[in-house]
Structure 1
């Protein structure tokens, strides 16, 4: 494929200094990107609660022995979703630009959601592989565009990413409620068939995201676009064809490689990425190199966070199904999908509060540094597991079930941890990495999320074992999770001053 010339790169850099009309105190394109991401997250989170349950119901006839396979498949799916971002970032940076990458990715993802409706395990895996490829083109580039609509030293950047993150979670809040209703109300057929309505809704959500971004991208004033030329058209066709072909190796990784092999591949990719970023930073000088090193260190702690946070779609789902008493009253039941909305609702409620706390602390000159915000995120997530450990040790009823509230409280505490880490991480990458490597660096951030996601599937699978999750296996797994998160958070809090020096004043 022919890559962009240096002239095209210069055009992109010049576009990055454009000023935009404001809406509610932020550049107007932020709100367009907010809604495009809303619908993508509607699709992604709409199937999150259903994937592992569907695998057990459809391919294991509902037998609990399928939980291990389902957890590992879910972890591998998440890992490859985020790992593919590294290639999507490269494609956008060097070949077709962020705007076309987002549009192509949205259409491919939509096709994948419709494919997983087919009642064949092979087609199901091919559908997941298709979603993965499309998400790789979409996800890192829309985040990158958020960073580009702000001037380099714009103090609103962190708040802009927090607002964007609220768009993510608005979609995540609505979709489980809507898709749970579809799964339980649409038909009286077996549940495995009702899940297919969930997948169809996700496919439609991605089509809406495509149309929204296609119409709204004019607001970007050329940011993320490449001048239309025969070369761009040819490269776009190459990317579409390459994306179709890449579904095959992704499918093979999903279906045959296994979590251990995938883990080693992702680790090798991360090492390769780190080397490329470090070599690129060397050309920029010592300060740029230090900032890349700081960014890579923070990515390692992100791996730890994601490993435990992503239990939401695997071990927490099976815990809610089998060990949590979800009866609110004798006739009202708290639905499985609604747990996914607890996280999203908590973010929508707590994100403005956390943002105001950071602002108030900044005015008093006591705002925590980026590393210490990460440390608080790890500690908050660890406390969520502590609540579950307490419940499993002390609150079991006669049926060996725990109450509803400990799992809900765990989700809320994980949300607090997430707000201290995830949006701050996106903003951190945009500030630490040179503009010429921004898309690639965002791919690296999502690659660290991929590694953590793969570990999350392995951990959840070990808790399920051959017979499904039990009180004892959950207690062992969640106790381990608590102690590792607390140790990591405390360690990061201690070494934060060293990382701050590497950041050279970036806050």
Structure 2
């Protein structure tokens, strides 16, 4: 996971210096197509090679698609936050559809029946003993292929602001670099094979990125330099939020498995289904927030990114305190009613919409044009550190002691989770309050930059 957020540093730099955003996104999608072809057609021994192509493809795709969205708006366009919120909603719609793909992947015969009918195949093929995960890779590869075709045919309609370095790069050099960057697969594959290197690589990349950010800031006019330094501080808020959010796929998922009442109308819902709650809420609320941000901006009442970041931390803090309260009230049985989880998820999703799309909008607005993709990549690198911090916190505070070969009792695990949720919730709430108190001064710095670049 850390490599997914680390690789955009490569794609962002190459896009800003040589290739441009549009070419980089196309290359990224192409590498992801190669990934899923490897995972579907080749033996499991090539699995890590497929992952290496996925990491490289994501590196090209992730920061540059964000820069492309930012290119659709001027720096002071009141629709910018709204546009990024719609973009982020679409991302979560994909996350919501992923479990549906997983459902079809577990029913491969149904997939092959559809293929036979669409192709008019007179000699029907069947799934046979095809493992369901391979069918999942097939579905993912097909979706990526469709997106590649759509991007090639309709991408030209998007207005993309490229810097002078990209414009001056000859086509033959762009083609050569695009081919040569396939060599990055080798070190990425080596890193995947040697997990022990990840800590050193992530920390080193983080230090280099912060130094790079500061150096770029010092080259800018004073108003833009101060704004970039504010963004660097807000990146810490983003790391704090994401470190908690990432618990959803780890320790909170275990909490759901062990301590949430998953019965609805007599049916027991699989724990994996609850992974869709957050993207569902984001997908449903995203358009409403997009309309809200747009109307506030048009009326000149936009509360500003620092206040939005502070409110997001406060909301995720409240969400965790809600879970802590649910655990406290249910400690006699160890089983927490589902309503507590749904209420908590609502606040988490609302907080996510206050920070994630707003952060992407902010960085693409503040960053100098010729460094937009690279600085967006550094923003994504903060997610890698958030994963690292979140994993460390989970090990220290959310590890439930095992009882030998016996299953863990809900009454035992609920005490651990209750204390952890309480600690994380109060910490996030404190960080949120501090950010909100500093929001007015920080917002003045950002506003001064906006006035100077208008």
Please tell me the TM-score bracket, short chain as reference: 0.7 to 0.9
TM (norm. structure 1) is 0.74
Does the aligned pair in 2 maintain the 1:459–1:477 contact within 8 Å?
A: no
Does the aligned pair in 1 maintain the 2:93–2:279 contact within 8 Å?
A: yes
1:84-233 equivalences under 5 Å are 84-116=7-39, 123-176=46-99, 178-186=100-108, 193-220=131-158, 223=161, 231-233=170-172
Deviations 1:361-401 (A, max 9, x none): 55665542210100001111112211222222222575x43
User: What is the CA distance between 1:187 and its match in structure 2?
Assistant: 6.6
2: CA distance, partners of 1:109 / 1:81: 12
Does the aligned pair in 1 maintain the 2:72–2:159 contact within 8 Å?
A: no
User: What is the CA distance between 1:455 and its match in structure 2?
Assistant: 2.2
Tell whether 2:179 aligns with 1:245. no
Q: Paired residue for 1:432? A: 366
TM (norm. structure 2) is 0.82
Deviations 1:149-186 (A, max 9, x none): 2233322222111221221122222222x124225444
The DSSP-based 3-state class of the residue aligned with 2:220 is: coil
1:443 counterpart (357, 377, 381): 377
User: What is the CA distance between 1:442 and its match in structure 2?
Assistant: 0.7
Does the aligned pair in 1 maintain the 2:82–2:294 contact within 8 Å?
A: no
Does the aligned pair in 2 maintain the 1:378–1:486 contact within 8 Å?
A: yes
1:95/1:255 Cα in 2 relative to 1: closer, same or farther (>3 Å)?
same
Does the aligned pair in 1 maintain the 2:20–2:162 contact within 8 Å?
A: yes
1:474/1:255 Cα in 2 relative to 1: closer, same or farther (>3 Å)?
farther
1: CA distance, partners of 2:299 / 2:18: 45
1: CA distance, partners of 2:18 / 2:300: 43
Does the aligned pair in 2 maintain the 1:85–1:446 contact within 8 Å?
A: yes
Higher mean Cα deviation, 341-350 or 288-297?
Answer: 341-350
User: What is the CA distance between 1:245 and its match in structure 2?
Assistant: 3.0
1:435/1:418 Cα in 2 relative to 1: closer, same or farther (>3 Å)?
same
Q: Paired residue for 1:478? A: 421
2:324 counterpart (389, 407, 415): 389
Q: Paired residue for 2:232? A: 296
Which is higher, the Rg of structure 1 or of structure 2?
2
Higher mean Cα deviation, 341-350 or 211-220?
Answer: 341-350
1: CA distance, partners of 2:47 / 2:388: 19
Q: Paired residue for 1:40? A: none
User: What is the CA distance between 1:213 and its match in structure 2?
Assistant: 0.7
1:368 counterpart (293, 297, 303): 303
User: What is the CA distance between 1:419 and its match in structure 2?
Assistant: 0.7
User: What is the CA distance between 1:359 and its match in structure 2?
Assistant: 4.7
User: What is the CA distance between 1:443 and its match in structure 2?
Assistant: 0.8
Tell whether 2:423 aligns with 1:423. no
User: What is the CA distance between 1:413 and its match in structure 2?
Assistant: 1.3
Q: Paired residue for 1:19? A: none
Query: Which consecutive unaligned segments of at least 5 residues does structure 2 have?
Result: 111-126
The DSSP-based 3-state class of the residue aligned with 1:505 is: helix
Q: Paired residue for 2:446? A: 503
Does the aligned pair in 2 maintain the 1:169–1:347 contact within 8 Å?
A: yes
Tell whether 2:423 aligns with 1:488. no
Q: Paired residue for 2:115? A: none
Q: How many residues align?
A: 422
Does the aligned pair in 1 maintain the 2:79–2:297 contact within 8 Å?
A: no
1:363/1:105 Cα in 2 relative to 1: closer, same or farther (>3 Å)?
closer
User: What is the CA distance between 1:107 and its match in structure 2?
Assistant: 2.0
Does the aligned pair in 2 maintain the 1:282–1:288 contact within 8 Å?
A: no
2: CA distance, partners of 1:218 / 1:296: 33
Does the aligned pair in 2 maintain the 1:293–1:502 contact within 8 Å?
A: no
Alignment RMSD (CA, Å): 3.1
Does the aligned pair in 2 maintain the 1:187–1:194 contact within 8 Å?
A: no
Q: Paired residue for 2:6? A: 83
Does the aligned pair in 1 maintain the 2:8–2:59 contact within 8 Å?
A: yes
1:456/1:118 Cα in 2 relative to 1: closer, same or farther (>3 Å)?
farther
Does the aligned pair in 1 maintain the 2:28–2:58 contact within 8 Å?
A: yes
1: CA distance, partners of 2:205 / 2:436: 28
